[in-house]
Amino acid sequence: MSTAARPPADRPNIVWLLTDHHVFAHHMSLPGPKPLLKSHDRIAADGVSFRQAHAVCPLCTPARASMLTGLYLHRHEMVMNNGDCGSRLDFEPDTKLFSYYLRQAGYRLGYFGKWHVGEQRGCWDYDFEGWSMLGYGHAYWSDEYAEYLRQKNLPQAAADVEWHFSEPSRTGRGILLKDEPDWGHRMESCGVLTTPAETHEAYFVADRASRWLEQVAASGEPFCLRVDVWGPHQPYFVAEPFAGSIRPGEIPEYPNFSHALADRPASHRRFRDARHKRATVRTWAQWQPIVARSYEHATQVDAALGQVLDALQRLGLADNTLVFYTADHGDAIACQGGVFDKDSLMVEETVRIPLAVRWPGHTPRGAVSDHLVTHMDIVPTILAAAGAEMPEPMDGRSLLGLLADPAGAPWRRDLMCQHYGHGHPCFQRLCRHGAYKYVAHLDDMDELYDLARDPYELKNLAEEPAMRGLLADMQQRLARWMDEHDDTGEDSARLRSEFV
C-alpha cells in the first residue's frame, strides 16, 4: 500500500449520483427529441463534462464492482451478473472497497439504492450507512418504500403496461408494482405510471438520500454519499408530466437500426436473431413509442436526482462538495439491427456513458473534455481528493488533473475495457485510441471502427487488407494494456495468440 499525503483541511464532501442502463450515447446526438437531463447538465454547467466516458464493462455487476474498487474485472472476478458462468457472486471476504479508505480518512459514508454486487454482503458490510437491498433488489417490495409512501401520503405505484417485448399477455391496466412476482419478465415492458412521479423508485431513493444529508449536515463531518437508482433501466414506466413529453413520430430512425450485421461477430447476429424471434415489434414505426418511453424515463430519473442537488444547495453544502454524475453502462434499445437490452455488445450505445463532475473552486465552469476516461477513474479521484490512502493495485486513474485543466493536463492516449459475456461466455477486450475502436473477440470475428467517419459502426474494418497496419497497432496497444494491468489469464493469453 502507498500512503497519500495528510488529508487537506478543506477536503471536500463527495456525492456520487449513479444511474443504471442509461440511454445516452448516440441518442443524445441525433436530431429530433431526446432525453432532457437537467441534473446532468446542471453539474456540467458548473464543472466538466466528459464526452468520451466509457463503462469499463457494459454490464451491471462487473461495472459496479469496478466502481467500488477501482479495479478491472479480472482482479475482482465479478465478471458477470448474479454469479453466471462461474463468476464470483460476492467480493472476496477480505476485499476493501473505496469506502474503507475513506472511513480511515475520517469520512462518514452513505449509500442509498441499488447494490447488485453481492447476495451475501451488502453496502452495510462495507462501512456505509443508508438503505439498499442484496442482489439486484426491487425497491417496490421493501418496507422502507412502504414507509416512504406513508410519510408522503402517496399511493402504491401502479402502471398501465402498454407494451411487452415478447409477451402481449403481460400488458394491462392498473398493475401494482409491489405485486409483481416476476420482476425479470417485467423488465421487458414500458408504459405509463398512473400514480404520481414521486412513487417512482428514483424519487424514493433520492428522498432517502436527501434526508441523510440533512442529518450529516448537522454533524459537520466530511461525508461521501453514493445514490444508485434503478432507472432508467427497463421497465420504462413514466408518470406525468414526463409521460407524453416526447412525440414518438419525431424520433428519427437510428442509422444502425436496420444493420444486417453481416460483417459483425457471430455473437452479434445470434443475439439479434434471438431477440427478433421473440419480439412483438419489427418496424421503426413500431419501435418509436417504446424509444419515446425510454427517453421520457431517462428524463424522469434525472429529475428525481435533482432533489439531491437541491438538498446540497439548501443545506449550504454545495460549495465544498465534489459531485459526480454517471451511469453503470448504456442501453442498446432499437439499435444494432433492432435489439433490446444489451447482451454482450460492446457497441457505442452500451459502452458510452454520461460523466459530469463539478467541484466549485477546483473545476472550470462549463468545460468539456474529450479525453478517454471510465467510471472506474472515479474511485482514485475520490481517494485523492479526500487525501485518503491509495491502495495498490489501482487500475483507475485520478481525474483531478483533468478537472483542473480539462484541455492541457497530461492524460492517457488509449484505453481498455473488458467483457466476459452476459449469461453466456463472450470473452472480449476493447481498445480505444483517438477515433479508432478495436474490439478483440475470443474465437469470433474482431471489430475495428473509425468512429470519426463511422460513429454508428456501420462498417467493420477488421478484415480489410488496407487496415492491417491499423489493426496491428490497436492490438499492440491492447496487449500493452493487458500486460500493464496483469490481464494475463488463460483466456487473455488465447485472445492474444489470435492477434496478427
Q: 185 vs 32, which has greater pLDDT?
A: 32
Q: Residue range 269-295: average pLDDT? A: 96
Q: Are strands 428-433 and 436-441 parallel, antiparallel or unpaired?
A: antiparallel
Beta carbons of 420 and 427 less than 8 angstroms apart:
yes
Query: What is the rounded average pLDDT for all residues in the chain?
Result: 95
Equal CATH topology for 13-407 and 427-500: no
pLDDT above 80: residue 3: no
pTM for the whole structure: 0.97
pLDDT at 184: 80
Q: Residue range 173-200: average pLDDT? A: 92
pLDDT digits (tens, 9 = 90+) for 300-324: 999 999 999 999 999 999 999 999 9
pLDDT above 80: residue 56: yes
pLDDT above 60: residue 6: no
Q: Residue range 194-215: average pLDDT? A: 98
Rounded Cα gap, residues 456 and 449, in angstroms:
9
Rounded Cα gap, residues 485 and 70, in angstroms:
12
pLDDT above 60: residue 5: no
Q: Residue range 379-396: average pLDDT? A: 98
Q: 183 vs 106, which has greater pLDDT?
A: 106
- For residue 487, which of 76, 54, 118 has the smallest C-alpha distance? 76
pLDDT cut 90: percent of the chain above it: 94
pLDDT above 70: residue 435: yes
In angstroms, what CA-CA distances link 152 with 248, 297, 388?
33, 22, 39
Q: What are the boundaries of each domain within the chain?
A: 13-407, 427-500
The backbone torsions φ and ψ at residue 16, rounded to the nearest 5 degrees and listed phi first, read -125, 110
pLDDT range class, residue 402, cuts 50, 70, 90:
very high
Q: Does domain 427-500 have CATH number 3.40.640.10?
A: no
CATH, domain range 13-407: 3.40.720.10
3-class DSSP state for residue 483?
Answer: helix
Residue reference for cell 433490446:
340
pLDDT above 60: residue 223: yes
pLDDT at 9: 54
pLDDT digits (tens, 9 = 90+) for 161-171: 999 999 999 99
pLDDT range class, residue 181, cuts 50, 70, 90:
confident
181 exposure class (CB count in 10 Å sphere: 0-12, 13-18, 19+): exposed
Beta carbons of 376 and 56 less than 8 angstroms apart:
yes
pLDDT digits (tens, 9 = 90+) for 228-276: 999 999 999 999 999 999 999 999 999 999 999 999 999 999 999 999 9
pLDDT at 197: 98
In angstroms, what CA-CA distances link 424 with 271, 328, 448?
11, 20, 23
